[in-house]
């Protein structure tokens, strides 16, 4: 379900980017967490982009519309698992504030009970409010045609629109002609396509300012069974103002065995002995609001290169978050703690940032490429910086705003 057989690595090999390769993209495999961006984030964005509508009042109608298009719920108390219990107890004991997560879901059959960690591979109950159950059926009913397994390799602007060249499956070349196109293949996908198509010579900022909220999972090992894979997978988050100052947030999460295997250090017998303790593991991750922008590039042979490292500030944020997690585990009786071996990048943002300045940004305030009015962008690639907040809802809100501008052009 992900590009490159599961994950793409940064230039150091220390962060694995999970880039979905499914119709519906991140909305299929994400945890459907929804939060509006606050005034501090939007003020930062406005100052970077010089775009006035990037403010709480400017985005309010779009947040409201995005929220009205989907069903939003909190996880009911009876569906919270022991992993969530440890998180809440540890946070409270250490004097930090938690808050239930708001999710794009509809029921989720928690009365069954339902172990929704399975939903990381797409929701078999069709209750996660992904594109597959919300906007796609709506678009198809209005006459849209969907072509899956089609990778666009190049786009070419023409006087009468845009030519699109790609591969259906592995071999079948297809070409299309369109008056306008909307790129929505995410930070890495959009940047890669624009670089492959030679736009860098017109728009030098393509691929710059890539952010990912690098996430680092720690596992707490307990004497009793925790079974973090049972019931609701994720139900609480940190809501402490101190964390915002420290530049991170914490969430109680878990991963399937192949994911846990990648986090645990070592190999062979030692590794297996730790894997056997999966039922006794709790898990919390620190997601860093990264300050060091990455760069998406193409190598000599056209291969993807993602330069993304932590600077001293980002490392400080990561370590502080891990210290807090250690304290949470210690205060709730963990026997030992394993810090995950590799970082994870799930929130893939930027690379085609929005802004007024065509030297510093890629996408105009009207959501088209600087200098190319028929090529639009509408997804997380237009983010000008890391918000430190789950991006899904703002992607939806900005896309609604983009759609208004795009529709005006017809």
Partner 1 sequence: MQTTLLTNRELKGFIKVADILTCGDRDFPKFSTTDFYKKVDYILEELPKEDFDGIKLLFNVFSFLPSFLISFIVFLTENPFGPSFIKNNLFKINSGLKGIVFTLYYSRLPGEGERIFSLLGWDTKIPGYVGTNKFNELN
Q: Per the structure block, which two tokens stand in for 62?
A: 């779009």
Cβ atoms 210, 309 nearer than 8 A: no
Site for partner 1 in 86-125 (CB under 8 A): 109, 112, 114-119, 122-125
Per CB under 8 A, contacts with partner 1 among 279-298 are 279
| Residue ranges in 94-158 assigned as alpha helix (H) | 135-141
Q: What share of the chain is helix, strand, coil (3-state, %, to 5)?
A: 35, 25, 40
Binding to partner 1 (CB under 8 A): which residues in 195-234?
Answer: 225, 227, 229-230
- Decide if 246 contacts 320 (C-beta within 8 A): yes
**Under a CB-based contact definition with an 8 Å cutoff, are residues 356 and 53 in contact?**
no
Q: Which of 57, 141, 173, 301 contacts partner 1 by CB under 8 A?
A: 301
Q: Closer to partner 1 by CB, 214 or 247: give it.
A: 214
CB of 198 to partner 1, least distance (A): 20
How far is Cα of residue 78 from the mean position of the Cα atoms in its chain?
Answer: 28
Under the binding rule (CB under 8 A), the answer on residue 393 touching partner 1 is no
Residue with tokens 């499914």: 22
Q: How far apart (Å, rounded) are the C-alpha atoms in residues 131 and 70?
A: 10
**What's the CA gap between 48 and 397, in Å, rounded?**
19
Site membership for partner 1, residue 24 (CB under 8 A): yes
In the complex, least distance from residue 47 CB atom to partner 1, rounded to whole angstroms: 34
Yes or no: say if 114 and 231 are a contact pair by the CB < 8 Å rule.
Answer: yes
Which of these ranges, 18-26, 62-70, 155-163, 363-371, lies near partner 1 under the rule CB under 8 A?
Answer: 18-26
Of 99 and 225, nearer to partner 1 (C-beta) is 225
Question: Cβ 59 to partner 1, closest distance in Å?
Answer: 28
Q: How far is CA 34 from CA 27, 43, 66, 105, 330, in A?
A: 11, 20, 10, 10, 30
The nearer residue to partner 1, 277 or 370, going by C-beta atoms, is 277
Distance between CA atoms of residues 191 and 207, nearest Å: 5
Q: Point out which residues pair with 183 in neighbouring strands.
A: 377
- Residue span binding partner 1 (CB under 8 A) among the ranges 187-195, 202-210, 301-309, 364-372: 301-309
Q: How far is the CB of 260 from partner 1 (least distance, A)?
A: 8
Least spacing, CB of residue 214 vs partner 1, in Å: 15
Cβ 328 to partner 1, closest distance in Å? 24
Exactly one of 61, 198, 256, 409 binds partner 1 (CB under 8 A); that residue is 256
Q: Is 149 in the site for partner 1 (CB under 8 A)?
A: yes
Is residue 171 a contact point for partner 1 (CB under 8 A)? no
Q: Which residues pair with 167 in a beta bridge?
A: 151, 173
Nearer to partner 1, 241 or 303 (CB): 303
Among 303, 359, 407, 408, indicate the residue that binds partner 1 (CB under 8 A): 303
Residue 122 CB contacts under 8 Å (≥ 6 apart), including other chains: 1, 22, 28, 29, 128, 130, 132
> Contact between 269 and partner 1 (CB under 8 A)?
yes
Per-residue x/- track, 342-381, partner 1 (CB under 8 A)? x---------------------------------------
Helix (H, G, I), strand (E, B) or coil at 375: strand
Query: Cα–Cα–Cα angle for 128, 132, 134, nearest 5°?
Result: 75
Beta-bridge partners for 215: 287, 344
Enumerate binding residues for partner 1 (CB under 8 A): 1, 3-7, 9, 11-14, 16, 21-24, 28, 109, 112, 114-119, 122-127, 131-133, 136, 146, 148-149, 225, 227, 229-230, 256-258, 260-262, 265-269, 271-272, 275-276, 278-279, 299, 301, 303-304, 342
């Amino acid at each position: 379900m992900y590009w490159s057989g599961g994950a793409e690595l940064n230039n150091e090999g220390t962060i694995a980017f999970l880039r979905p390769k499914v119709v519906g993209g991140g909305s299929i495999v994400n945890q459907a967490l929804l939060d509006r961006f606050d005034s501090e984030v939007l003020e930062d964005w406005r100052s970077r982009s010089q775009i006035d509508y990037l403010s709480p009042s400017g985005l309010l109608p779009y947040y409201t519309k995005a929220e009205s298009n989907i069903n939003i719920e909190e996880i009911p108390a009876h569906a919270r698992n022991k992993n969530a219990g440890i998180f809440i107890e540890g946070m409270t004991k250490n004097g930090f504030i938690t808050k239930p997560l708001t999710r794009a879901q509809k029921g989720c059959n928690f009365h069954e009970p339902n172990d929704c960690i399975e939903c990381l591979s797409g929701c078999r109950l069709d209750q996660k409010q992904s594109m597959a159950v919300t906007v796609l059926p709506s678009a198809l009913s209005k006459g849209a045609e969907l072509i899956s397994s089609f990778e666009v390799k190049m786009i070419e602007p023409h006087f009468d629109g845009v030519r699109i060249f790609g591969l259906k499956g592995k071999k079948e070349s297809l070409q299309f002609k369109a008056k306008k196109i909307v790129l929505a293949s995410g930070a890495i996908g959009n940047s890669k396509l624009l670089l492959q198509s030679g736009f860098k010579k017109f728009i030098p900022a393509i691929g710059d300012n890539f952010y990912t909220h690098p996430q680092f999972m720690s596992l707490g090992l307990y004497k009793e069974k925790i079974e973090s894979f049972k019931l609701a997978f994720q139900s609480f988050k940190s809501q402490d103002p101190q964390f915002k100052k420290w530049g991170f947030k914490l969430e109680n999460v878990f991963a399937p065995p192949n994911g846990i295997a990648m986090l645990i250090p070592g190999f062979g017998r030692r590794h297996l002995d730790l894997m056997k303790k999966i039922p006794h593991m709790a898990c919390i991750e620190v997601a860093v609001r990264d300050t060091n922008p990455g760069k998406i590039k193409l190598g000599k042979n056209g291969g993807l290169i993602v330069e993304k490292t932590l600077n001293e500030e980002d490392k400080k944020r990561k370590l502080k978050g891990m210290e807090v997690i250690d304290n949470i585990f210690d205060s709730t009786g963990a026997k030992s703690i394993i810090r995950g071996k590799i970082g994870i990048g799930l929130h893939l943002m930027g690379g085609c940032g929005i802004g007024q300045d065509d030297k510093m940004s890629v996408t105009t305030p009207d959501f088209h490429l600087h200098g190319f009015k028929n090529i639009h962008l509408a997804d997380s690639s237009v983010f000008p910086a890391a918000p430190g907040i789950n991006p899904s809802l703002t992607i939806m809100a900005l896309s609604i705003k983009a759609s208004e501008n795009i529709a005006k052009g017809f």
